Structure 1
Amino acid sequence: MTGAQADRNRRPGARRILDDLRQARVLVLHPQDEDGAILTEHLKRLGCAVTALWPLPAVLPPETDTIFVQVDDLPGEALSALLQDRTPAIIAIMTYETPTALQAITDLNAHGVISKPLRPFGILAQFVLARYRRGYEGRLAGKIQKLEETMKSRRLVDRAVKLMAELRGISDDEAYRLLRDQATAQRTSLTSIAEGLLAAEATLRGIGLTTTGK
């Protein structure tokens, strides 16, 4: 494969990256000086929707998904409080590697860093990297949440199986098959059947009755 052919094969992916950037809703938190103007104008040339604010606003503009923020002498907790439960991609801008700036980068879990004085070269790379890292974090968090939900469901089913086995005087395998068949008959999930059984048992115990004869 020639270099030209390889480049053509990469183009669809490159276009997707640029299309993603053009759909970004960017907030620039930087003093309105020469560096701020360079950054804002460069982002606009990329086709982004850009809002520039300074000092920090009381609330974030709606739909903001990427933030470029100057962290020099800016306590990280100030922006963290502003973010609340929002999770945008964050690119920190710093002049010097001061303890305050480094702490702010850590507190914000910045996805990228740009040093001053700002130049157009390098902004695009950090922009792409930050959005990729934020997307990866989001996908990873989704997988973790799904795994936690699966483990929670498994624990519920295990408890229900033990209860059914005790009620019927049967083995765990037989109890599991009974619950599974019930879920199939009702066209619902095994977890829902388990939750219903455990809830019923808890209700009976709450009024002084038992399901096991103990």
Structure 2
Amino acid sequence: MARFRLKDLRSLTVAVVHPPDPECQTILEQLARIGCRTELVWPPEKGLPPKVDVVFAGLFFDSHEQVRSMMRKVDRPAPALICVVDYENPAMLEIVVDIGAVAVTSKPVRSFGIMTNMVVARANQQRQDALRDRAAKLEKKLSGQKQIASAKSILMKVQGISEEDAFDTIRKQAMSKRCSIEDMAEAIIKANDLLSGGKGAV
């Protein structure tokens, strides 16, 4: 994961999802001092602009579902979400966790702390994205290994060859077709399913 640097803050695009009140103005003014590109979004139903890096979202009991819906619609990688809250009770904290916030700032909003929250939120979001990507790659690799095992089993049974020879056959066919071993294994499985009438390995 690339290390986040303070000077990178100026390259960020930040959406402030909050009613245009003095609290919102404090956030916007501090973001302007930092040098971020900012956009005010209210109500949440308007949706986020494209390619947003960080979101400051005011959480209110009467509009948190709209914020949740807004965040569900964003493309991956998702922006880092910083919730702005005015209550520290169990119900609000549950909403903060459930909505996927990676940092929190409380009201009354002060200029001090906004930059810190942005750095922490951005770093946490990048860490989450890296872990999610790693998990997806491992899942894909595991799925590929299962397909290779199934394809080897098919060849061993149909051609009466050893496991080593079956893998060698898959590898050579993949090289010949200029595709991955996993793709070739999948093709063998599909061909077998077709020939066996969808009943699985012959």
TM interval, shorter chain, is: 0.7 to 0.9
Question: Please, which of 34, 45, 53 is the counterpart of residue 33 of structure 2?
Answer: 45
Aligned equivalent of 1:82 = 70
- For 1:71, the aligned partner's letter is L
Aligned equivalent of 1:94 = 85
TM-score (norm 2): 0.88
Distance of 1:184 and 1:55 partners within structure 2 = 55
1:76–1:107 Cα contact (<8 Å) kept? no
Q: Gapped runs of 5+ residues in structure 1?
A: 1-12
- In the TM superposition, what is the alpha-carbon distance from 1:49 to its structure 2 partner? 0.8
Does 1:130 find its partner at 2:116? Answer: no
Aligned equivalent of 2:165 = 174
Distance of 2:134 and 2:198 partners within structure 1 = 40
Question: What secondary structure sits across from 1:206 in the alignment?
Answer: coil
- For 1:41, the aligned partner's letter is E
State the Cα RMSD in Å: 2.2
- In the TM superposition, what is the alpha-carbon distance from 1:115 to its structure 2 partner? 1.3
Distance of 2:201 and 2:93 partners within structure 1 = 60
Distance of 2:6 and 2:64 partners within structure 1 = 30
2:45–2:66 Cα contact (<8 Å) kept? no
**1:147-204 deviations in Å (ceiling 9; x for gaps):** 1111111111100000100111122122112222222333321112212211111111
**1:27-81 deviations in Å (ceiling 9; x for gaps):** 1122322221111000011111111233323322222221111113245332111
Distance of 1:101 and 1:31 partners within structure 2 = 18
- Could you say which structure has the greater relative contact order, defined with CA pairs below 8 angstroms and 6 or more residues apart? 2
Larger radius of gyration: 1
Distance of 2:32 and 2:170 partners within structure 1 = 59
- In the TM superposition, what is the alpha-carbon distance from 1:207 to its structure 2 partner? 8.6
- In the TM superposition, what is the alpha-carbon distance from 1:138 to its structure 2 partner? 0.9
- In the TM superposition, what is the alpha-carbon distance from 1:211 to its structure 2 partner? 8.6
Does 1:185 find its partner at 2:176? Answer: yes
Distance of 2:94 and 2:62 partners within structure 1 = 10
Question: Comparing 71-80 with 36-45, which one deviates more in the overlay?
Answer: 71-80
TM-score (norm 1): 0.83
Distance of 1:46 and 1:118 partners within structure 2 = 16
1:30–1:52 Cα contact (<8 Å) kept? yes
What is the correspondence of 1:12-51 to structure 2 with a 5 Å cutoff? 17-51=5-39
Q: Gapped runs of 5+ residues in structure 2?
A: none
Question: What secondary structure sits across from 1:68 in the alignment?
Answer: strand
- Cα distance change, pair 93–111 in 1 and its aligned pair in 2 (3 A): same
Does 1:163 find its partner at 2:188? Answer: no
